[in-house]
Amino acid sequence: MFCPNCGKPLPPDSKFCPSCGHAVGATVPGDTPDSPARAAAPATHSYNPLPAQETRRGFWAWLRALKTWKKVLLGIVLFIVCVIALAMFATSGLNEPVERHFSALHSGDVVAAYSELSVAARQQTSLEDFKAMLVNSPALTHVTGESFSSRSYNNGQGQLEGTLELEGGGKLPIEIHLVKENGAWKILAYKMSPATPAE
C-alpha cells in the first residue's frame, strides 16, 4: 500500500503516512493516483435501453390497464379496419377488365373489347349484336377514363357504380356487373343512365 500524496510505502493498517502525515483512510492496495488499476478502470454508462421483450410486456400491460369500454371501442375499430381491408383485397381487380374494355373501344378494337365480356354475356350477345349496340350508344367509344364511387363483391360476383369520363368533359353514369371466370374478372353486363354534358 502506498501513500496517495507522496507515494511512499505505508505500513499495514496505517491511517496516516509516516513520511508526509497525509490521512490515508480506507484505500485499496495499489490504488494510487497513477496506478495501472485506476488508469485501466472502464468507463461506465447510464444508458441501458429496454430489450424488445420488455417493450412487448409494456404494450400488454398498457392494454390490460385500459378500461372495458375503451377495449370494446378498440376492438370495433380493428374489426372495421379488417373488414375494409378484406373488401379492398376482394375487389382489387374489379376495375381492370372495365379499363381494358373501354380502352379497346376508344381505340376502335371492338374484338378486344368484346373479349372482356364473360362467357354468359357472349352467349347472350353475339359480336354482331355488340357492334350494333355500339352504333346505338356511340358514347361508349369515346370513354377517356373511369371513376367508381362504389364497389362490392359477393359469391364470385362484383359490382361497380360510378361514371365514365367522355371526350369533351361529359360524364356517363354507369353500373357494371362482373363475374369471376377462371380466376379473372369478366364483364357480365352494364346499365347506363343518360350522359351529363360538360359544365
135 CB-near residues (< 8 Å, 6+ apart): none
The answer as to whether 151 is a domain residue is: yes
135 found inside a domain: yes
Range of the domain at 118: 95-192
Please report, as a single letter, which amino acid is at residue 197: P
12 within domain boundaries: no
Q: For strand 184-192 and strand 171-181, is the pairing parallel, antiparallel, or unpaired?
A: antiparallel
pLDDT tens for each residue of the chain, 199 residues long: 778 888 788 787 778 888 787 787 654 444 444 544 444 445 555 555 555 555 566 777 777 788 888 888 888 888 888 776 665 655 557 889 999 999 999 999 999 999 999 999 999 999 999 999 999 989 999 999 998 888 888 887 899 999 999 998 899 999 999 998 988 899 999 998 887 776 6
**Contact criterion met (CB below 8 Å) for 161 and 149:** yes
**Number of structural domains, the chain?**
1
Residue 83 lies in a domain: no
Whether residue 52 is contained in a domain is answered as no
- Whole-angstrom distance between the N-terminal and C-terminal Cα of the chain? 100
Structural domain contains residue 118: yes
CATH value at residue 169: 3.10.450.100
